[in-house]
Structure 1
Amino acid sequence: MSDLLLPDVDAVVPPEGLPIGKVAEAIGVGVEALRYYEREGLMLQAAPRDSGGRRRYGERDVAWISGLVMLRQTGMPISDIRVIAELSRREGTEQERLMFFQEHRARVLERLDQTHRHLAAIDRKIDSYRAAQARERDSRDRMPEAAPATDLHAILSAWWEAIAALDLDSPQKDWDAMTSYLADDCVVYFGGMGSPATAGVGAVDADLRKVLTYWRLVERRVLTRGADAAGTTIFASMNNRLEILGEALDFPETEVVTFDEEGRIARYELYCDPAPIAALIAARRPAA
């Protein structure tokens, strides 16, 4: 059984191993993420258990998990990690693993280049806001006007970029950055208008963590967009590229989003046909 070259972990692992909570704390992920890795077949082997039936992770297990986190944080799909885990259980598969890592490295470099371009755009946006503040210093006491619809679409796109950057291993600050776009009493329909609404920032955080166990936004493709006369509600029709349990899916959706006076999302409505996603999930469900 061959191992990857893995990042160092700042944790002392005793001979009897570490319990799941200590491993999660050392690596900086949630306990549910570790259980998810095992359910999805991403571990080299199932964690051994002590006499009380509790998981115990050895030094090799902890190192492997840190490698999984590294791969997820650099954007490798679960489906690719699953293949690497399968290959790593067998000797003589170095060439296949080399191919996966070369392809992943190219994707990481592409994302880094894109991140640098995004950072340059953010810097330009900051400069424009500073210039606007300088022009409006003499009118600070006036009530703020509603944000133009174009700016609201930019806020919505930034929210989706924050969501697309998340996964189960993301630090809490990234989750807080995502929820900063939301009003405290927001109402969000993640699963479409036929599903129950999620109300409040805390519930959005919790529900999105559940969604990310099977769903990932690969690319947001906006076809048309517009706004109401008041300029507080916008809409966008899309044909998004999703990944459902590792399977690619082009998914038509229309979103209607209302903002509060501070430019935060107060209500998010999603209109779509959930049947294709349900069918993919059902196809992956083990037969009875």
Structure 2
Amino acid sequence: MTSTGLSIGEVARRTGLSVHALRLYERAGVLTGPVQRDAAGRRVYREWDVAWLGNCVLFRATGMPLAALAELARLVGEGPGNEAARLKLLRAHQERVADQMARLTECRVLIDAKVTAYEAHLAHGSSGDPWQPAPAV
């Protein structure tokens, strides 16, 4: 845009978020402060906004709800003095992510076992369905 800011299109390109998502994030309070506007009323973003939105993309990829992200943004936007509240929010999310990872590990073990079974089945030209237990004799 100019040396004073970035357009919404440029921020969309740099963050991988759509223009629609950026507007949604603004309405949901996910930015750490209000988005500035130029004389024509167009949004003007700062480099800080791009860096913050990069974090938001990662937080959302881990399942952080928009409400939690908005709360974190509010706390960061308030400035120093509320670090304990930020830490509490992040620890709660950290625990949710750890639980998700444990569940995904269980899923991966099942998938790996099934892939191995099908690979062996196909490599040996076996008959029957490797998913089903062998019939009792």
- When normalised by structure 2's length, the TM-score is 0.79
Q: After superposition, what is the alpha-carbon deviation per residue over 1:90-118, rounded to whole angstroms, capped at 9, x for unaligned?
A: 24211111111111112222222222222
Q: Which residue does the alignment assign to 2:86?
A: 97
- Provide the rounded CA distance (Å) in 2 between the counterparts of 1:58 and 1:29: 16
1:84 to 72, 79, 86: 72
Q: What is the Cα deviation at residue 137 of structure 1?
A: 8.1
Q: Identity, % of aligned pairs?
A: 37
Which position in structure 2 is the counterpart of 1:112?
101
Q: Which amino acid aligns with 2:101?
A: L
The equivalent residue for 1:252 is: none
The whole-number CA distance in structure 2 between the counterparts of 1:41 and 1:62 is: 15
Q: Which moved more, 1:62-71 or 1:81-90?
A: 81-90
Contact 1:42 1:81 in 2 (8 A): yes
For 1:56 and 1:136, locate their aligned partners in 2 and report how far apart those are by CA, in whole Å.
63
Structure 2 equivalent of residue 233 of structure 1: none
1:128 and 2:120 are equivalent in the alignment = no
Aligned letter for 1:19?
A: S
- Paired residue for 1:30? 18
Among 23, 38, 42, the alignment partner of 1:54 is: 42
How far did 1:14 drift? 5.7
Compare the two structures and name the one with the higher helix fraction. 2
Could you tell me which amino acid in structure 2 is paired with residue 111 of structure 1? Answer: Q
Q: Give, in whole Å, the separation in 2 of the partners of 1:79 and 1:51.
A: 31
2:66 counterpart of 1:75: no
Alignment size in residue pairs = 128
Give the corresponding residue for 1:269.
Answer: none
Greater per-residue strand proportion: 1
Q: How many angstroms does 1:35 deviate by?
A: 0.9
**Alpha carbons 1:15, 1:58 under 8 Å: kept:** no
Counterpart Cα distance in 1 of 2:125 and 2:9: 52
1:15 matches 2:26: no
Q: CA RMSD in A?
A: 2.5
One-letter amino acid of the counterpart of residue 54, structure 1: R
1:1-288 matches, cutoff 5 A: 15-90=3-78, 91-134=80-123
Distance (Å, rounded) in 1 between the aligned partners of 2:62 and 2:3: 31
Partner of 2:135: none
Superimposed CA distance per residue, residues 134-179 of structure 1 (whole angstroms, 9 cap, x where no aligned partner): 46589xxxxxxxxx9x9xxxxxxxxxxxxxxxxxxxxxxxxxxxxx
Q: Could you state the TM-score of these two structures normalised by the residue count of structure 1?
A: 0.40
**Alpha-carbon distance in structure 2 between the residues aligned to 1:14 and 1:79:** 32
Q: Which of structures 1 and 2 has the bigger CA Rg? A: 2
Give the deviation of 1:40 after TM superposition. Answer: 0.8
Structure having greater relative contact order (Cα 8 Å, sep ≥ 6): 2
